[in-house]
Amino acid sequence: MKKVLNKILHIVVDVLIIAILIISVFILTVALTARNSEGVPNVFGKAPIGVLTDSMKGDKPDDFNKGDMLICDVVGDKVSAKYKVGDVVTFAADIDGNGERDYVTHRIYKINKDGNMLTKGDNNDTYDQDKNNQTVFPEILNTDVLAVYHGTKINGLGGVLNYLQTPNGFFLWILLPMIIFFLYQAVRVVINAMAYSKEKGMMKAQEAMEKAGLTEEQKQKAIAEYLAAQNGEIPAEAAEKSEPEAAVEVEKQPEPEVSEKTDDSDNTEDA
């Protein structure tokens, strides 16, 4: 029963480790490609993007909510790319005014004659480029579009993705489990090496016994003594001999012969 539970535990641990490794590789890929030439994470032509606001919350088929993860198509040739009103595109802009550019995924609502595009969130009242309402983002061109969204998303996973890309999230949920995994594997390697060494020693001992022509009883006794020595135990016979009172046999000395003394006094005769 114990062996079965240990086997199940090893399987569960291995599955968790594999899952963590897969997630780790995914997060590392996203992090390393987040600032590539296209400007968005690029995983085999797809850009996983976490939604930061509810600006596109609505009832249209391609609307989405804060915390969702969008699977967008990375734009390859930006110059020749053509877009139309109604397309949902991703571009970079300074949302918080802190000088850092974040990803914005909004719908194209208008294309000017000069080709500049005006975008707006379906849940917003004004264009992103509304000059009368303190323009937040400039008008965008074809070359500003980084990716196109076609409706593929995973609900709620965007928030997790965004958190895992922070230093704390990456350390707690990616780096730390990987460190534990490597330590666990190192312990398993040591245990397996010890088991292999023990098994190899048993094989050599059995070969030696076969060559010595021992009886089955002698073989079993030799194996028991070998296993006890490997486990740091003392065989029962050796333990008995190690005890002074039980092990030391006191030799009985022969008792000295007692000779009877005879009265050798001379008898005198009356003269």
Domain membership flag for residue 14: no
Provide mean pLDDT across the span 21-35.
71
The gap from C-alpha 71 to its chain's centroid, in whole angstroms, comes to: 26
Q: Which of 110, 133, 165 is the last residue of a domain?
A: 165
Burial annotation 82-93 (CB, 10 A radius, 16+ → b, else e): ebeeebbbbbbb
69's enclosing H/E stretch is strand 69-74
Report if residue 74 sits inside a domain: yes
Yes or no: say if 140 and 119 are a contact pair by the CB < 8 Å rule: yes
DSSP 169-201: HHIIIIIHHHHHHHHHHHHHHHHHHHHHHHHHH
Q: Please tell me whether residues 53 and 156 are part of one structural domain.
A: yes
pTM metric for this prediction: 0.61
Give the three-class secondary structure for 8.
Answer: helix
Are residues 132 and 101 part of one domain?
yes
Q: Find the mean pLDDT for residues 17-40.
A: 70
Whether 106 and 190 share a structural domain: no
Q: Kindly report, residue by residue over 147-195, the tens digit of the pLDDT.
A: 999 999 999 988 888 887 788 888 887 788 778 888 888 888 888 888 8
Reading the block at residue 21, the tokens are 């490794």
**How far from 79 is each of 85, 109, 126, 143, CA to CA, in Å?**
18, 20, 28, 6
Do both 80 and 186 map to the same domain? no
What backbone torsions phi and psi does residue 47 show, to the nearest 5 degrees? Answer: -115, 105
Which pLDDT band holds residue 250 (cuts at 50, 70, 90)?
very low
Token digits for 12?
């569960």
- Can you tell me the distance from the alpha carbon of 98 to that of 79, in angstroms, rounded to the nearest whole number? 29
- Residues 101, 53 share a domain: yes
56 and 156 belong to one structural domain: yes
83: CATH:
2.10.109.10
Q: Is residue 45 part of a domain?
A: yes
91 contacts 143 by C-beta, under 8 angstroms? no
Residue 160 near residue 107 (C-beta atoms within 8 A)? no
39 and 160 fall within a common domain:
yes
Q: Is 10 inside a domain boundary?
A: no
Structure tokens, 53: 């606001």
Q: Quick one: average pLDDT of 207-223?
A: 71
Domain span at 183:
174-235
Same domain, 153 and 83: yes
Strand partners of residue 149: 88
- Residue-wise pLDDT for 89-131, tens only, equals 999 887 777 777 788 999 999 998 888 999 999 999 888 887 6
> How many distinct structural domains can be found in the chain?
2
The whole-number pLDDT of residue 216 equals 73
Biggest alpha carbon–alpha carbon distance for the chain: 180
CA angle 113, 116, 117 (to 5 degrees): 110
